Structure 1
């Protein structure tokens, strides 16, 4: 998740002007206040000044100036400036793209406990970008971010345990971290956790829990989860057998790009009436139009 952290500061103004002009005046005041403090070496002001150059509020947008002030703040140890400076090196915004510099500043920020930096540093180690590929280091930093509640780090750490990359393969640990991520609403973790309950990998096999998590992922548009949920309805595993709901989820899975539905469609059309197919197709439309709040 590579994004800038922007702090919005509201300034009041007594100028007689319309609302838009008041906003412009407040932005200019903010810029001048931060500039004065930043030039005196205030790290927080330097950070906030950099964010104004990123957003173009109160000053013309200028990534080079943003990088300059993030650097000054980062050199004083501001962990969020260090993180944002890393992003600029990764994206080549305001500076020449340089993954090694990105790793340098991610490391400084991550060492101070900033979870977003820990996540991105783990990613750099995993991909071998700007640093020698090292799965153990990737697992280390994913763990630190995961322990702070980062759902993506929890998901990636779970995959590392499932695949035995950088850590000893451990399906129970994989299930643990998938659960933490899934409970925060991360759809891919929900889908993988459902698979684990469906197959009994790292957990006691439980079709009802598989259906629960497939459903949560399916209702977020995950095509694979929609397909697997369709199979659960077809087989009556963890849920009452229901060919219409099976067809509905299968149809949505195909709509969302899941490959390999043709054989399953051929199978279900032999067991369902044309009238029920029409109802299932209509249910698919309602489900999609409601953004998955009215499905079945």
Structure 2
């Protein structure tokens, strides 16, 4: 019932009612309800926004193996939201969720390995986690995988694969990937031929999606 009220499925959408029903199930230890109730507290839907309460509920759900709650705990610990910042705990929970196939946890773990945030920096590990997330269709991971192939980070440099992943992300609306393809066509670098038409096409898509540098380049070309 909680989900039905939260989404308006079969009943009029009512966040307060959703919270009421989630509470009933969460009090009985039902992990999906604990997670969903935590989301309501985190976003302030039907209840006063409370990151600490969200953390408590997601902790209960995560301990029962609720993968989305595990991903959420990783994020809350990473940014110190509702709990004291703790990179070790963040990585622990991201790893649990990532090993269960959660693409967002895989991507976030890849980001932490890429820059060495709370863990020894490793392009190899970053590449592995970005690839897992990218293969599940996460567009930011697809773009990052393209960058790593382009630069030879954590893997052998491969312009063909770099552009393949850039194109997948770009076609899925990723502004950074659209910019990368456009820039490569503009200068005829990283495995793409110089092609002003293609460059302008992709740079315009990127600029329309809010990429500031793409807009600056277009302004300079016009």
Bin the TM-score by the shorter chain. 0.7 to 0.9
Match of 1:174 among 120, 126, 137: 126
Match of 1:252 among 202, 205, 221: 205
Is the counterpart of residue 239 in structure 1 residue 192 in structure 2? yes
Kindly state the Cα deviation for residue 183 of structure 1 after the two structures are TM-superposed. Answer: 1.0
Kindly state the Cα deviation for residue 51 of structure 1 after the two structures are TM-superposed. Answer: 3.4
Q: Is the 8 A contact 1:188 1:222 kept in 2?
A: yes
Q: 1:50 matched to which residue of 2?
A: 2
Is the counterpart of residue 219 in structure 1 residue 171 in structure 2? yes
SS in 1 for 2:23: helix
For residues 122-148 of structure 1, give each alpha carbon's deviation from its aligned partner in whole angstroms, at most 9, with x where no partner exists. 111112111101111111111111111
Match of 2:65 among 105, 113, 119: 113
- What's the TM-score, normalizing by structure 1? 0.67
Number of residue pairs aligned between Structure 1 and Structure 2: 221
* Partners of 2:92 and 2:47 in 1: CA distance: 29
Stretches of structure 1 that go unaligned for 5 or more consecutive residues are 1-48, 270-296
Q: 1:75 matched to which residue of 2?
A: 27
Structure 1 range deviating more: 120-129 or 69-78: 69-78
Kindly state the Cα deviation for residue 223 of structure 1 after the two structures are TM-superposed. Answer: 2.0
SS in 2 for 1:260: helix
* Partners of 1:262 and 1:89 in 2: CA distance: 38
Q: Answer 1 or 2: which has greater helix percent.
A: 2
Kindly state the Cα deviation for residue 57 of structure 1 after the two structures are TM-superposed. Answer: 6.3
Q: Over the residues paired in the alignment, what is the CA RMSD in angstroms?
A: 2.5
Q: Is the 8 A contact 1:209 1:238 kept in 2?
A: no
Distance 1:131 1:58, change over 3 A: same
Larger radius of gyration: 1
Is the counterpart of residue 123 in structure 1 residue 41 in structure 2? no
Higher normalized contact order (CA 8 Å, seq sep 6+, divided by chain length):
2
* Partners of 1:254 and 1:55 in 2: CA distance: 33
Structure 1 range deviating more: 239-248 or 139-148: 239-248
SS in 1 for 2:212: coil
Q: 1:292 matched to which residue of 2?
A: none
Is the counterpart of residue 229 in structure 1 residue 181 in structure 2? yes
For residues 154-188 of structure 1, give each alpha carbon's deviation from its aligned partner in whole angstroms, at most 9, with x where no partner exists. 11110011111122111111001111111111111
* Partners of 2:146 and 2:84 in 1: CA distance: 34
Distance 1:95 1:250, change over 3 A: closer
Q: Is the 8 A contact 2:203 2:215 kept in 1?
A: no
Kindly state the Cα deviation for residue 266 of structure 1 after the two structures are TM-superposed. Answer: 8.0
Match of 1:92 among 26, 44, 47: 44
SS in 2 for 1:131: coil
For residues 177-202 of structure 1, give each alpha carbon's deviation from its aligned partner in whole angstroms, at most 9, with x where no partner exists. 11111111111111111111111111
Distance 1:161 1:76, change over 3 A: same
